[in-house]
Amino acid sequence: MQKVPIDLAKPGMVLAKTVFNDKGMTLCAEGTELSANVIDRLMKMHVSSLTLKGHPVDLGTETKTGEQRVQELSARFSMVHGDPIMDMLEAAIEQAILSRQEEDDSAPQGRDAS
Protein backbone atom coordinates (compact mmCIF):
# COMPACT_ATOMS: atom_id res chain seq x y z
CA MET A 1 0.00 0.00 0.00
CA GLN A 2 1.35 3.42 -0.93
CA LYS A 3 -0.03 6.93 -0.57
CA VAL A 4 0.87 8.98 -3.63
CA PRO A 5 0.05 12.45 -4.94
CA ILE A 6 -2.84 12.19 -7.39
CA ASP A 7 -0.77 13.69 -10.20
CA LEU A 8 1.40 10.53 -10.13
CA ALA A 9 -1.61 8.19 -10.44
CA LYS A 10 -1.91 6.30 -13.72
CA PRO A 11 -4.74 4.34 -15.33
CA GLY A 12 -4.69 0.69 -14.22
CA MET A 13 -3.57 1.40 -10.66
CA VAL A 14 -5.91 0.09 -7.95
CA LEU A 15 -7.16 1.94 -4.87
CA ALA A 16 -6.17 0.34 -1.56
CA LYS A 17 -8.44 2.68 0.43
CA THR A 18 -11.77 4.33 -0.25
CA VAL A 19 -11.55 8.00 -1.28
CA PHE A 20 -13.85 10.36 0.62
CA ASN A 21 -14.57 14.05 0.16
CA ASP A 22 -14.23 16.53 3.02
CA LYS A 23 -17.83 15.84 4.08
CA GLY A 24 -17.26 12.08 4.35
CA MET A 25 -19.06 11.14 1.15
CA THR A 26 -17.54 8.23 -0.77
CA LEU A 27 -16.03 9.31 -4.08
CA CYS A 28 -14.33 6.04 -5.10
CA ALA A 29 -14.41 2.65 -3.38
CA GLU A 30 -11.46 0.56 -2.30
CA GLY A 31 -10.50 -1.86 -5.07
CA THR A 32 -11.45 0.53 -7.88
CA GLU A 33 -9.14 0.32 -10.88
CA LEU A 34 -8.28 3.85 -11.92
CA SER A 35 -9.00 5.12 -15.40
CA ALA A 36 -7.94 8.45 -16.89
CA ASN A 37 -11.53 9.64 -16.47
CA VAL A 38 -11.66 8.69 -12.77
CA ILE A 39 -8.31 10.37 -12.07
CA ASP A 40 -9.47 13.53 -13.87
CA ARG A 41 -12.75 13.63 -11.92
CA LEU A 42 -10.95 13.16 -8.58
CA MET A 43 -8.56 15.99 -9.46
CA LYS A 44 -11.52 18.24 -10.25
CA MET A 45 -12.94 17.35 -6.80
CA HIS A 46 -9.66 18.58 -5.25
CA VAL A 47 -8.47 15.14 -4.11
CA SER A 48 -4.75 15.57 -3.48
CA SER A 49 -3.56 12.00 -2.87
CA LEU A 50 -4.62 8.38 -3.22
CA THR A 51 -3.67 5.20 -1.36
CA LEU A 52 -2.87 2.55 -3.96
CA LYS A 53 -2.29 -1.18 -3.75
CA GLY A 54 1.33 -2.26 -3.79
CA HIS A 55 4.09 0.30 -4.32
CA PRO A 56 3.45 1.38 -7.92
CA VAL A 57 5.31 4.69 -7.76
CA ASP A 58 8.96 5.36 -6.97
CA LEU A 59 8.75 8.58 -4.99
CA GLY A 60 12.52 8.87 -4.89
CA THR A 61 12.58 8.69 -1.10
CA GLU A 62 15.45 6.94 0.59
CA THR A 63 14.56 3.89 2.64
CA LYS A 64 15.08 4.27 6.38
CA THR A 65 14.40 1.73 9.07
CA GLY A 66 11.78 2.36 11.72
CA GLU A 67 14.56 2.69 14.28
CA GLN A 68 16.29 5.40 12.21
CA ARG A 69 13.01 7.30 11.91
CA VAL A 70 12.44 7.02 15.68
CA GLN A 71 15.93 8.41 16.30
CA GLU A 72 15.19 11.36 13.99
CA LEU A 73 11.88 11.89 15.77
CA SER A 74 13.58 11.95 19.15
CA ALA A 75 16.08 14.52 17.89
CA ARG A 76 13.25 16.71 16.59
CA PHE A 77 11.45 16.57 19.93
CA SER A 78 14.63 17.05 22.02
CA MET A 79 13.86 20.70 22.79
CA VAL A 80 10.45 19.85 24.27
CA HIS A 81 11.23 16.68 26.26
CA GLY A 82 9.45 16.85 29.59
CA ASP A 83 6.38 18.66 28.25
CA PRO A 84 3.55 16.16 28.93
CA ILE A 85 1.58 16.95 25.78
CA MET A 86 4.64 16.88 23.52
CA ASP A 87 5.82 13.63 25.15
CA MET A 88 2.42 12.06 24.39
CA LEU A 89 2.58 13.33 20.81
CA GLU A 90 6.09 11.96 20.34
CA ALA A 91 5.03 8.57 21.75
CA ALA A 92 2.02 8.43 19.41
CA ILE A 93 4.16 9.26 16.37
CA GLU A 94 6.77 6.70 17.43
CA GLN A 95 4.05 4.05 17.72
CA ALA A 96 2.78 4.95 14.23
CA ILE A 97 6.30 4.73 12.78
CA LEU A 98 6.91 1.31 14.31
CA SER A 99 3.47 0.01 13.27
CA ARG A 100 4.10 1.16 9.71
CA GLN A 101 7.50 -0.54 9.76
CA GLU A 102 5.90 -3.80 10.93
CA GLU A 103 3.27 -3.49 8.17
CA ASP A 104 5.95 -2.88 5.54
CA ASP A 105 8.09 -5.76 6.84
CA SER A 106 5.17 -8.20 6.65
CA ALA A 107 4.08 -7.13 3.13
CA PRO A 108 4.93 -9.54 0.30
CA GLN A 109 8.01 -8.56 -1.66
CA GLY A 110 8.39 -8.43 -5.43
CA ARG A 111 6.76 -6.80 -8.43
CA ASP A 112 3.28 -8.22 -7.85
CA ALA A 113 3.07 -7.30 -4.15
CA SER A 114 -0.24 -5.68 -3.25
Question: Considering the entire predicted model, what is its pTM?
Answer: 0.50
Per-residue model confidence as pLDDT tens for the chain (114 residues): 888 889 888 999 999 999 998 889 999 999 999 999 999 999 999 999 999 888 767 666 557 788 888 999 999 999 999 999 999 999 999 999 988 888 777 765 444 443
Conformation bin of residue 87: beta by default, left when phi > 0, alpha when psi is -120 to 50 = alpha
Identify the bridge partners of residue 28 per DSSP, sorted by sequence position: 19
> Which residues, 6 or more positions from 5, have their beta carbon under 8 angstroms from its beta carbon?
48, 49
